[in-house]
Structure 1
Amino acid sequence: MNITYNRFLTFFLFGFFMIIMMSSCQKEVIEISSAQDNETTKLTVNSTLTTLITDTVSNDGSIDNIIDKANCLEIKLPVFVVVNGTGVEINSIEDYQVIEEIFDRFNDDIDKIDIEYPIRVVTNEFAEILIDNENEFKELVNSCKGENEKDDDIECIDFMYPISISVFNTDFDIVDTKTINNDENLFSFLKNLNASTIASIKFPIRLVKADGTIISVNNNQELENAIIQAADSCDEDDDFNFNDDDPDYCNVDFVQQSLERCMWKITTFSNNASFENYSFRFSDDSTFTINQNGTIEGFGDWSVETSNNKNILRLSSTINDFNGDWEILECGDKFLDITKDGSILKIEKNCPDFSVEEVKETLLGCKWGISDFINNGENLSDQYIDYKFDFNNDETFEISDGSNTFPGSWTVERNEFGNVIINIASVFTDVVDEYFVASINNSNILIQSNSGKTIKLKKDCSTGVGDINVDRLNFLVLNCVWKIVDLNKEGNNLTANYTNYRFKFFQDGTFLFYNAFGADYYVGIWKAERTNRVVFLLTSQGLSNEITNFYEVILLEDEKLNLFVDGINGMHEMKLERECI
């Protein structure tokens, strides 16, 4: 009885457990099969989601851009570098700040960093490469995208680990369960995924955005949407400073906008020191001029571009020394350092320091002739050489070539960049524009517009003998000394006899005519007055009548005085120039 009961119990229990086990196994197969038939959970090779995840977990090499300037590479620490001549051992990410502090000590030097080889670098696919020298390193760097250039990696969202992934074969049999603990694990897993393998992430999982927001997703579609939405939602810090705490200097937009404001003076040109103190004026129509002391020496075209992963200033002008692609080494609000073929060119922003009132006062009183006129790189000076501006106190002007006269209006103001601007409006449309005052003195004004016009104006006070002002004549002759540059009497050129002599005129009506390189001198009396014309008397008991006479003033400028007599025996003409020491 007991034996029969025991046997029955044994068979019953065995059958019961077999049913449970079969039911359990069948249930697992059904769940797995059901899961893998659902498109919302599959993770297959070359799918959109797999590509997005790969781009998100690829190695971001921008953290050490201050050293390698390569977003797709990360130098494996420790590494020893020489920064502007100072040796620095980099043992951690925090040490990159030391490099930036050395760079920031001066804003007018060229920052330089040298790496001590060999080094190891990690690619964006987490491959480790040994680099033995600078040439090998540059070749690898050139394979990366440039500064702030769009690349494949997604840096605005990150996975939170650990993550579990189940792997099945095509029969939906479980092959393995992977626990993923970091980006490198996930990248490696996805790269090794093949067409015969199906994977499924165990949801829900969490991700963190660049602003610190944590989100949870429950299936593949939610994950794909989250990555796509976050992909361009932040600054990926792909510039070449550290920690993105510097202004984004030296990118194309910054350099271009900065160059269009003010003049830029050459402070260093290693290839040709004779160009130091020349200035560039860059216009927003992609033309520029090269100036020296208010004189236009050359002109051409310019652009700021990215080429071979480097930002460059491209110049094409009438002066070959400046032409070509200049790599931008360093820049700031007020300076730009560029290099080409081993030459270093440093320029500094040179905004004029004169006032609106100074410009207005200078323009008034005399006429201003056009001595240079360049429009969009074309020299049109010969067409405008006879034109003269006559600016009036009421902000009107006339411009005339002697035959035709055109009215206009003018204003002077300072713009938001600190530049003094002359606005010219006229029916003579050739000169109509808003002009930046590049340089100004008592004799010349250089104005340039962003539309490509460059005009040099030269003061012209010789508008006719009747217009010569005696008070102005007296004021000018009393300042500085005057030398003879041309002397003709009755057909004889006597200039060479008086090359070393100078006039010094005094307030009491006396003058001294002396040898600047000798001891001899003469004293005389001078007087300027208006009768029916402006006359200038020079008389002296000991001085030759080659110098003395009762002259008519036929030309008066700030630096020039021309005296003339039409005598019985012929003309007597003396030309003087002012000499201020």
Structure 2
Amino acid sequence: MKFFKTSLLLFSTLLILFSCRTEEIQIIDPPIENELAANSTVAKLMKNTVAKDGSKDNIIDKASCLSVKLPVTVTVNSKEITVNDEDGYEEIEDIFDLFDNDVDAIVISYPIEVILSDYTVKTVNSDEELQRLAENCTGENEADDDIECLDFYYPLKASVFNANLELILTITIEDDEQMHKLIEDLEDYSAVTIEFPFKVILNGDTYVYINNMQELEEALEAAKNSCDEDDDNDYNDDDCDKCSTEGIKKIFANCNEWSVEKLYLNEEYLTEEFKMFTFSFRENGSIKIDNNGDISEGIWEITGEGNEMSFSINIPDYPAFNGTWYLHEVKEDSGEVSVHLLLEGNHLRFKSQCSTVKDGLNAILLAEGSIWAVESYKNTGEDETAVFADYQIYFYSENVVKAKKDGAVIEGVWESLNDGSMLALNFSDEPVNAFNKEWEVAVMSETEVVLEANDKRLVIKRIN
């Protein structure tokens, strides 16, 4: 191993960059199996995972290996706007979508700054300079090294050792940029270890625990080509290619309260006028509108498939919404769902602080004929699984839950909370009342649910 550089300058830089360190040197034999070695396969995979993703703003720069530093001012089809956050990309798309028979153009106001995949920031003064940087990127949907299907769940902890295997620094890593710098600097350190276990996020919505370096390497290898990384310049590729009437009805059935995120009608923004309204789209085709206690009714209907879907609305009290709209796109992200409708240059977008994840948890627990058992229960590190080995758990739609053993039944209640990210359990008697708390849903599949609460971990597995 290389001798760790102990110059005052480097040490001071580390103290500024990272938020936590040990107060005194400790002599520890680092667990070699957790060592993150420079130029190792796992280090290279981690570096590709935490590289700066530049694909989100391709509507501006048409380059997936760099991103324009915000805010940036652009002129879109003769309209000047300032993009302050990712919502600005949608605003550009909305302007492009206003008319189907026009030529869409975007003009960037230079100078701008761009962030490269290694987090280097460069100043760009012209389209020509931006194009030269973009030429270093791979083409649309061509294979590249970045891994976008797995994300680290921060904060993570790492330990730095000197040549005498003395622990000299404990690092708290808060984001991808800090992780990227740590990996780039590995050759400067004699040894670095990662603290396990920690969580990673697969495909944006599934949490999985990683327990050692081998598991981490396997997870990163598996994630390389496991999802669509969206490295193209087609800003319309999130439209309704896979939409269906049943899917839209399911979304509205799961999400009861909707608000108006945007209403642009006859070249006038009416969003503010309706932003406090609450809309409920019922499965029977009726709409309930609540304007601060003033209730109105209407009807809605969805027909067609894919990109040929019509969304009809008729609310007599609020004719601004009335018409047969074209379903432009549906987005689900971080517990929020939005439905975007178009009609001859007019825009209507509903949003709900809801997610089909909730329905996913309910559907999993309530699947017909499903019986669950305790696969594992750890209480402050102690394995207490054997206490519950013979119990079978049944979930019912009336929020009733039952634990059965040898003919005896212990009843309780259960509830899905926070869009399905939490599961509350409350049993009436021992020993299963040990599960009485609000659990975080760490991992969820059709056959297994992993629950966590402080220093407790409960894994239930479907046995039928």
- By relative contact order (CA 8 Å, sep 6+), the higher-ranking structure is 2
- With normalisation by structure 2, the TM-score equals 0.45
**Bigger radius of gyration:** 1
